[in-house]
Structure 1
Amino acid sequence: MKHTTLGDLDVSRIGLGTMGMSFGYTGAGGDDAESVRTIHRALELGVTFLDIES
């Protein structure tokens, strides 16, 4: 996985956006287990840049 600098951080060039995993974006009926599996798989593949919706 290639990395780049973001401010003082070294992050993967490929990031994972998580807005689609949030209640506010998808509404009721989201699959939390699938979201967790997706995040774990991204980490396994070397993704270190997660765009977390707060």
Structure 2
Amino acid sequence: MLYWAVVCLIIAIIAGVLGFGGIAGTAAGLAKILFFVFLILLVISLVVNALKGRGPKM
């Protein structure tokens, strides 16, 4: 998911440079949403792992 957030951010930057403001805004908004969803899922995963008492897999 973080990969797609970075891809959308790059698309937004390229579209902004080329003058496509609407597409750039949409792509930047999508990248922002994906990034925050990634952060929320990361925190949930860390909390669940901590509550289970398991260490990281090696």
TM-score (norm 1): 0.37
TM-score, normalised with respect to structure 2? 0.35
Larger strand fraction of residues: 1
